[in-house]
Chain A
């Protein structure tokens, strides 16, 4: 065995020696074994939270959005904060599935499926908020440029809010296609494992008649590369456009050119924190510690350090430019942010987003699931506050002191926000129950990675 090249750069991605068949067994276990008690508890918990949110939404739609704490000065607050928060979380999924694929980061294979699913669910949660904000969600289709009897009066293509409609719906559609294309071979694997029955029939329909033919695999790889290439600029465009909702306005604190890259970095930062939160639980509960290893967690922690530092740099740059620009409104807004009535929110944001991720420079913390879990929650909280600070502090004291106001959320707003977590976790729990959480086909492809093609032991080259 002395000739077997073992380098630290080529550590195996999957721990332990597993045959292809064992891997299929491992990944399919949650689907074939009965539902555990813990799953039911988690599922009903999420469902109750979702119902609370649904009641809150029902109430505000039937009563009108006057039930929110908004006023003439602060016209956007909880709703848009939650929208930006959830869209941002989705970005990590696309980064893992598309950008890391283009960079040939093979470790992504263990986590891309669940991260992409998280993207879809997060975008669904995000979509809820602008739709309720319309006040009359049943005429939401007015946002689409369709020939109508009002002229036809077209939508205003110069408005960033309309760009959002296109960006978010394209993002959702392309992410869903990308995710499903990735699922097809795995659905076929499951179909061929199942005995006859209803389950098999469902998987047969979903698997599209996949046979594993290499002529199809060859085209499939091309398609996958194309979709990754399309999703990469798409994901950057989505949060860029979301940031333009703010940056194209004239409000001090919003009207800055730094917003697009700053928002994209923040989105990836918060998204990776959410992936960590979910996967640290999932790998233990579902027994995937050998597939989603400490190394995967550590790599994600490294992305969090980079994006967290970018976000910190953006905070600093904003402050510097506010002073350097000489605009007194801009200066006032930033001093008001850090020392005004919402200073508490600002300093929560800074300590969660700038200071806490710097702890990840310590390898001990990066490789401890418990520490990572705690830090990921802290980052999630911090990134929610970032959006809250940007939106509310910029609006509540703008040019005219006579129009200054303050804002506090009503119970309905809080319940709607909490309810969106219910929706997110309900969907995620259903996903882990009915579909393979790890990409079977892709993990098999990297099984021999770092093992010098020693997939089956008969090839020992000593």
Chain B
């Protein structure tokens, strides 16, 4: 386990500066742990943009296409029922359901994709660093570079841990 060094900070600024400097110094940033979403930390860590919007878009398109085709098929082909003399394929009347199914599939698919990609599931046992879901900010660096521990101390970490 001692391939990592953890530095604890007590403010988001401390963590942000340390992360930026660590990246500039060429240290490996394993991850950062924060009690809330810290603005600018993604850039500081050099994270790629999430691809979730693609999941959302494709699921929405699929759901919408399915809803529209299903309505046309069931109302005009499977059992074409004359309702008040309206056309069998009443496209404008099919818009509301198409819209709702689009939104439903996009939302559910994005949420499932998020939980799957982040490997979060009900009852998962997670090793949570001390107080990072409350009021501490932790920066985890790779310790193959032996500068890491000294770097964290210098960056103002309250505590540096080698697990």
- As a 0/1 sequence over residues 109 to 122 of chain B, the CB contacts with chain A under 8 angstroms (1 = contact) are 01100110111111
B104 within 8 A of A: yes
> Given A158-B83, A193-B134, A206-B122, does the pair A185, B111 have CB atoms closer than 8 Å?
no
- As a 0/1 sequence over residues 198 to 233 of chain A, the CB contacts with chain B under 8 angstroms (1 = contact) are 000000111011111111111111110011001101
B155 within 8 A of A: no
A82 within 8 A of B: no
> Given A170-B103, A174-B104, A219-B52, does the pair A156, B133 have CB atoms closer than 8 Å?
no
* From A209, A217, A456, A459, contact of B121 by CB (8 A): A209
How long is the Cα–Cα vector from A173 to B112 in the complex, in angstroms? 13
Min Cβ gap A290→B in Å is: 17
In the bound complex, residues from chain B placing their C-beta under 8 Å from that of A26 are none
Q: Which residue on chain A has the smallest CB distance to residue B130?
A: A192
In the bound complex, residues from chain B placing their C-beta under 8 Å from that of A209 are 119-121, 123-126
In the bound complex, residues from chain A placing their C-beta under 8 Å from that of B128 are 188, 192, 211-212
Asked if B50 and A211 sit within 8 Å, CB to CB, the answer is no
Q: Which residue on chain A has the smallest CB distance to residue B112?
A: A177
| Pair count A-B, CB < 8 A | 201
- As a 0/1 sequence over residues 217 to 256 of chain A, the CB contacts with chain B under 8 angstroms (1 = contact) are 1111111001100110110010001001000000000000
What are 11 A-B pairs at a CB distance below 8 A?
Answer: A157-B90, A157-B94, A158-B90, A204-B123, A204-B125, A210-B133, A211-B127, A212-B33, A214-B32, A214-B47, A226-B52
Asked if B107 and A227 sit within 8 Å, CB to CB, the answer is yes
Give B17-47 interface residues, CB cut-off 8 Å to A.
31-39, 41-42, 45, 47
How long is the Cα–Cα vector from A210 to B101 in the complex, in angstroms? 30
Interface size on B, residues (CB 8 A): 66
How long is the Cα–Cα vector from A241 to B32 in the complex, in angstroms? 45
Asked if A212 and B34 sit within 8 Å, CB to CB, the answer is yes
Min Cβ gap B84→A in Å is: 8
Min Cβ gap A444→B in Å is: 4
In the bound complex, residues from chain A placing their C-beta under 8 Å from that of B53 are 222, 226
Tell which of A119-127, A129-137, A159-167, A427-435 binds the partner.
A159-167
Q: Which residue on chain A has the smallest CB distance to residue B87?
A: A158
Interface size on A, residues (CB 8 A): 68
B163 within 8 A of A: no
Asked if B134 and A24 sit within 8 Å, CB to CB, the answer is yes
A445 within 8 A of B: yes
In the bound complex, residues from chain B placing their C-beta under 8 Å from that of A445 are 36-39
How long is the Cα–Cα vector from A7 to B32 in the complex, in angstroms? 33
Asked if B133 and A188 sit within 8 Å, CB to CB, the answer is yes
Asked if A163 and B97 sit within 8 Å, CB to CB, the answer is yes
Asked if A19 and B135 sit within 8 Å, CB to CB, the answer is yes
In the bound complex, residues from chain A placing their C-beta under 8 Å from that of B35 are 20, 185, 189, 212, 441, 444
Give A22-74 interface residues, CB cut-off 8 Å to B.
24
Asked if A157 and B74 sit within 8 Å, CB to CB, the answer is yes
Identify which of B47, B50, B132, B133 gathers the most chain A CB atoms within 10 Å of its CB.
B133
In the bound complex, residues from chain B placing their C-beta under 8 Å from that of A226 are 52-53, 56, 106-107, 110
In the bound complex, residues from chain A placing their C-beta under 8 Å from that of B70 are 145
Asked if B96 and A456 sit within 8 Å, CB to CB, the answer is no
B11 within 8 A of A: yes
Q: Which residue on chain A has the smallest CB distance to residue B99?
A: A237
* From B39, B86, B134, contact of A158 by CB (8 A): B86
Give A422-456 interface residues, CB cut-off 8 Å to B.
441-442, 444-445, 448, 453, 455-456
In the bound complex, residues from chain A placing their C-beta under 8 Å from that of B118 are 215-216, 219-220
Asked if B50 and A213 sit within 8 Å, CB to CB, the answer is no
A16 within 8 A of B: no
How long is the Cα–Cα vector from A204 to B128 in the complex, in angstroms? 12
Given contacts A209-B123, A237-B103, 4 further A-B contacts (CB under 8 A): A20-B134, A166-B101, A170-B101, A222-B50
How long is the Cα–Cα vector from A152 to B47 in the complex, in angstroms? 51
A21 within 8 A of B: yes
Q: Which residue on chain B has the smallest CB distance to residue A158?
A: B93
How long is the Cα–Cα vector from A213 to B83 in the complex, in angstroms? 55
In the bound complex, residues from chain B placing their C-beta under 8 Å from that of A151 are 79
A153 within 8 A of B: yes
Min Cβ gap B131→A in Å is: 8
> Given A163-B97, A167-B96, A185-B36, does the pair A212, B47 have CB atoms closer than 8 Å?
no
In the bound complex, residues from chain B placing their C-beta under 8 Å from that of A244 are 96
A184 within 8 A of B: yes
A181 within 8 A of B: yes
In the bound complex, residues from chain A placing their C-beta under 8 Å from that of B124 are 208-209
